[in-house]
Amino acid sequence: MKVNFQRDFHYGEGRFKERNNPNEVPDSMAYKLPMDAEIVDGPANPKRARKGDGEFKGDDKSTPDINEAWEGGKAPKKPASKKQPKPNRKA
């Protein structure tokens, strides 16, 4: 992710990040960022694409590598389904 720092930031092993300059930072360091750091480029929430009248667009099946129904061309991953426990039957 890219982050703008409001002040110089030191994060171990003598490495510094400059302020007011988009710096590439590993996602694993997100919890160590200072409170005044501004995330410039990070994981975005997927949005549905809309037509001119505001209705949702559908996916064009003739282009299997691009999903026109979502902005950016990729659909979000579906969450794993929860398995329902089987009821206990006593005879």
pLDDT tens by residue, 61-73: 898 888 888 887 7
Answer whether residue 3 shows pLDDT above 80.
Answer: no
Q: What per-residue confidence (pLDDT) applies to 75? A: 79
pLDDT tens by residue, 31-82: 677 777 777 765 567 788 899 998 999 988 898 888 888 887 777 778 788 8
Q: What per-residue confidence (pLDDT) applies to 62? A: 92
Alpha-carbon distance of 77 to 91, in angstroms, equals: 43
Tell me which amino acid residue 89 is: R
Question: What are the boundaries of each domain within the chain?
Answer: 2-41, 46-73
Work out the pLDDT band at 87, boundaries 50, 70, 90: confident
What residue has token string 């990040």? 17
